Amino acid sequence: MHPAPSVILFTTLSGLGFGLLAYLGLGFPPVTGWVAFVFYAIAYGLAVGGLLASTFHLGHPERAWRAFTQWKTSWLSREGVCAVAALLVMGLYAIGAVFLETHWTLLGLIGAALSIATVFTTSMIYTQLKTIPRWNMSVTPVMFLSFSLSGGALLAGQESLAPWLLLAAGVVQLAYWHKGDQAFASSGTTMGTATGLGDRGAVRAFEPPHTGSNYLLREFVYVVGRKHIQKLRGIALILGFILPILCLWLPTESSMAKHLMAAVAVLAHIAGIMASRWLFFAQAEHVVGLYYGKR
């Protein structure tokens, strides 16, 4: 799949933003006043910025409101509904925390649940696609949720919880790669089933339908950079999980050093998740490539 920068940015940032909102809704940390304002500004900046980035790849962004209508069948629509609901509920909760110095606990719980649901619906947009075996796995939503919860904990300053969640997310990441590498082969789809000619012999693409490229090849058959996969996986693991864990576990004296370490941990984590997300798209092979003799 073509790794569109807007979508990579969206899924990374909004995942973090909604993760942070979930913690704030649960009262971790139980901030009020100005401190709360800063926390909510960061969370909304990430979540809303991500949502806006995702509209850039639409052909008709001005009609985006229509995407709220088909929640009965469409995970993309459900994502839109959940995201707006989470932002509205958490907005109310934030007003209480920032201006009234109160925490409306029930509202916070609902907001946290909606925030997590938003991340889940995002992951289901990809997981539901049988056409992309590397995404069509139960570990895909686990990966999105574990990234969001560990990144959220990091941003929410949950120093004791965050390293363990990061460790868990790193393990999920490894499991995702391991399973993903076998997904296409075990999906059973081959040029033989794609053409229905497989039982007569070995099928080979002889001539493509056109001399130039097309939408399908540009969007679904992305083979650039596959040779750097192992390196990028290493980078994603080190930046996304290992470095942030070290930063949090390193004993530091002054609070200044502590804050610096936290900042390094957050930035490294974001960069690592982006690398992982780039791989998520670039490595995903759509079965339509088989008609072109490619994967």
Partner 1 sequence: MTELPTTTDRKMGLVIDLDTCVGCHACVISCKGWNTENYGAPLSDQDAYGGDPSGTFLNRVHSFEVQPDEGHAQLIHFPKSCLHCEDAPCVTVCPTGASYKRVEDGIVLVNEDNCIGCGLCAWSCPYGARELDLAEGVMKKCTLCVDRIYNENLPEVDRVPSCVRTCPAGARHFGDLGDPNSDVSKLVAERGGMDLMPEMGTKPVNKYLPPRPKDQIEDQIDVLAPLLAPVTEEAGGFMGWLDKALDKLPGGAS
- Interaction site with partner 1 (CB under 8 A): 1, 57-61, 63-64, 66-70, 72-77, 80, 125, 128-132, 187-189, 191, 193-197, 200-216, 219-220, 286-288, 291-292
- Residue 118 Cβ vs partner 1, minimum distance, rounded to whole Å: 14
Instruction: Select 32 or 193, whichever has its Cβ closest to partner 1.
Output: 193
Distance in Å, CB of 95 to partner 1, minimum? 30
If the CB atoms of residues 93 and 120 are measured against partner 1, the closer one turns out to be 120
Q: Compare residues 59 and 251 and give the one whose CB is closer to partner 1.
A: 59
CA distance 241 to 52: 27
* Buried/exposed 99-111: b ≥16 CB within 10 Å, e otherwise: eeeebbeebbebb
Least CB distance to partner 1 at residue 205 (A)? 6
- In this complex, which beta carbon is closest to partner 1, that of residue 40 or of residue 184? 184
Q: How far is the CB of 78 from partner 1 (least distance, A)?
A: 9
Q: Is the peptide bond before 5 cis (omega within 30 degrees of 0)?
A: no
**Count of C-beta atoms within a 10 Å radius of residue 163:** 21
Considering the complex, state which of residue 125 and residue 271 has its C-beta at the smaller distance from partner 1: 125
Closer to partner 1 by Cβ: residue 67 or 107: 67
The dihedral sign for the CA sequence 93, 98, 102, 103: positive
> Shortest approach of partner 1 to residue 133 CB, angstroms?
11
> Which has the closest alpha carbon to 10: 21, 18, 2?
18
- Torsion sign across C-alpha atoms 189, 195, 198, 202: negative
d(CA 287, CA 183): 12
- Alpha-carbon distance values, 36 to 91, 96, 97, 98, 176 (Å): 12, 10, 7, 6, 35
Least spacing, CB of residue 217 vs partner 1, in Å: 9
Asked if residues 150 and 23 have their Cβ atoms less than 8 Å apart, the reply is no
